[in-house]
């Protein structure tokens, strides 16, 4: 479910967001948090051949009387949160760095729950050919690494890996990141078109099974279990629909918890049922490779979910001063966060 592309038109998205906030749209239904007037239908983008946690929450009955209105599939995380910021949808999810970038550009959104991450079962690995001379971080200087896109999750992980292993930003700049479709990455590594590449999910499983590749490092090996991205809502939506926001956020958190605690076969069966019943002409073939939700603590957001990327955010010029995580998120609407704190 990790679809991450760079924010190509942040300024345009923010201008549009500021223009449309207060103009029509679903969020206008709520009136100061009066339950009878709050929005009960949330527009969103899905992910082809996948079940998102909001979709799982709806199927499990965790969203109460709320309905989800699918308006199409997202092309990337940043596109998804831009759509939410500009009131084309009511929520969207993206890599933490993309959330920071959008908010720093002035977009009126706030993260309310983590929705993807990495753990021992579900993670991104960074691979080279088995016979590659690349053995340690410094060996990557002057080399090419395939990533799904620039300016997102994998660039931040690679930058963090190299920084933690003593490379300067000037040295890191000599490591060339090559945008490449995930489906083409394994073959590009094997052919020597790139020196290393990012693999995750079923693509990683198949590559390992085929042999001939060696893991250089992984994001979970670098950080341990961690959350990689958040679902955001517009500030005006939250203000006008606090009860709907709470029901939605807590429902998503409960769905993550359910997926973490339920036997794997049952989760896969549930995902299969959801995909087959929604009639979008999708495949369920890759569901058998699902291993875990990868999201720690039922989606509860922590400061470190943003500060983890501070060095990269600073080096990329996205944040110029010290990071202030409270600008980007709130756990106030996740009842599981309150229960954990209590």
Q: Residue 22: pLDDT above 50?
A: no
User: What percent of the chain is predicted at pLDDT more than 90?
Assistant: 80
Contact indicator for 236, 19 with CB cutoff of 8 Å: no
**pLDDT tens for each residue of 248-295:** 999 999 999 999 999 999 999 999 999 999 999 999 998 988 999 999
pLDDT of residue 35: 59
Same domain assignment for residues 102 and 206:
no
To 10 degrees, what angle do helices 77-85 and 96-104 make?
Answer: 40
In a domain, 2, yes or no: no
Residue of 170, 8, 168 lying closest to 76 (CA atoms): 8
In a domain, 205, yes or no: yes
**pLDDT tens for each residue of 173-207:** 999 999 999 889 999 999 999 999 999 988 999 89
Same domain assignment for residues 152 and 199:
yes
Same domain assignment for residues 152 and 99:
no
Same domain assignment for residues 204 and 242:
no
In a domain, 238, yes or no: yes
Contact indicator for 241, 30 with CB cutoff of 8 Å: yes
| End residue of a domain, out of 168, 194, 223 | 223
Mode of pairing for the β-strands spanning 124-129 and 196-200: antiparallel
Backbone φ and ψ of 20, nearest 5°: -85, -20
Question: What does the angle CA 26 – CA 76 – CA 51 come to, to the nearest 5 degrees?
Answer: 75
Same domain assignment for residues 235 and 327:
yes
pLDDT of residue 8: 40
**pLDDT tens for each residue of 131-140:** 999 999 999 9
**Which alpha helices (DSSP H) does the chain contain, by range?**
10-20, 53-59, 77-85, 96-104, 153-164, 169-172, 182-191, 201-210, 219-223, 235-240, 242-261, 264-278, 304-307, 310-315, 335-341
74 or 338, greater pLDDT: 74
Exposure string (b/e) for 169-185, b if CB count within 10 Å is 16 or more? Answer: eebbeebebbebebeeb
Q: Is 144 left (phi over 0), alpha (psi -120 to 50) or beta?
A: beta
**Domain extent at residue 73:** 10-118+226-341
Q: What is the pTM of this model?
A: 0.86
Torsion of CA 149, 150, 154, 158, to 10 degrees: 140
In a domain, 4, yes or no: no
Same domain assignment for residues 237 and 313:
yes
Tokens of 253: 């958190």
Same domain assignment for residues 238 and 296:
yes
Tokens of 117: 């991450």
Average pLDDT score, the chain? 90
CATH number at residue 183: 3.40.190.10
| End residue of a domain, out of 170, 197, 223 | 223
In a domain, 3, yes or no: no
In a domain, 136, yes or no: yes
**How many domains, the chain?**
2
Q: Residue 5: pLDDT above 80?
A: no
Contact indicator for 230, 111 with CB cutoff of 8 Å: yes
Same domain assignment for residues 141 and 98:
no
| End residue of a domain, out of 192, 223, 254 | 223
Same domain assignment for residues 48 and 144:
no
Same domain assignment for residues 235 and 211:
no
In a domain, 172, yes or no: yes
Same domain assignment for residues 114 and 236:
yes
Same domain assignment for residues 102 and 176:
no
In a domain, 219, yes or no: yes
Average pLDDT over residues 205-219: 95
Which residues on adjacent β-strands are paired with residue 124? 200
Helix (H, G, I), strand (E, B) or coil at 59: helix
Contact indicator for 154, 123 with CB cutoff of 8 Å: no
Within 8 A by CB and 6+ apart from 318, the residues are 97, 100, 101, 104
* Helices and strands (H and E) in the chain: how many: 15, 10
């Amino acid at each position: 479910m990790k679809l991450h592309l760079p924010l190509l038109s942040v300024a345009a998205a923010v201008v549009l967001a500021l223009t449309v906030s207060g103009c029509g749209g679903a969020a206008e239904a709520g009136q100061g948090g009066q339950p009878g007037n709050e929005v009960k239908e949330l527009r969103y983008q899905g992910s082809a051949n996948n079940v998102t946690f909001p979709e799982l929450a709806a199927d499990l009955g965790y969203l109460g009387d709320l309905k989800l209105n699918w308006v199409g599939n997202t092309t990337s995380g940043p596109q998804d949160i831009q759509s939410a910021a500009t009131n084309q949808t009511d929520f969207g999810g993206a890599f933490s760095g993309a959330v920071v970038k959008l908010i720093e550009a002035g977009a009126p959104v706030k993260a309310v729950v983590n929705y993807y991450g990495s753990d021992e079962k579900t993670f991104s690995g960074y691979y080279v050919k088995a016979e590659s001379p690349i053995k340690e971080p410094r060996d990557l200087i002057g080399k090419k690494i395939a990533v799904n896109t620039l300016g997102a999750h994998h660039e931040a992980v690679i930058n963090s890996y190299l920084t933690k292993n003593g490379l300067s930003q000037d040295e890191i700049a000599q490591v060339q990141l090559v945008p490449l479709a995930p489906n083409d990455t394994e073959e590009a590594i094997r052919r020597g078109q790139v020196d290393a590449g990012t693999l995750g999910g079923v693509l990683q499983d198949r590559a390992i099974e085929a042999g001939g590749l060696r893991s250089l490092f992984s994001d979970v090996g670098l950080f341990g279990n961690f959350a990689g991205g958040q679902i955001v809502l517009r500030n005006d939506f939250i203000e006008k629909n606090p009860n709907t926001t709470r029901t939605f956020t807590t429902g998503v958190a409960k769905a993550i918890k359910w997926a973490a605690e339920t036997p794997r076969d049952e989760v896969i069966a549930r995902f299969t049922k959801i995909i087959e019943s929604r009639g979008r002409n999708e495949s369920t073939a890759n569901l058998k490779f699902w291993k875990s939700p990868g999201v720690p603590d039922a989606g509860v957001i922590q400061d470190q979910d943003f500060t983890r990327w501070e060095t990269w955010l600073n080096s990329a010029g996205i944040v110029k001063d010290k990071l202030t995580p409270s600008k980007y998120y709130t756990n106030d609407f996740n009842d599981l966060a309150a229960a954990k704190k209590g």
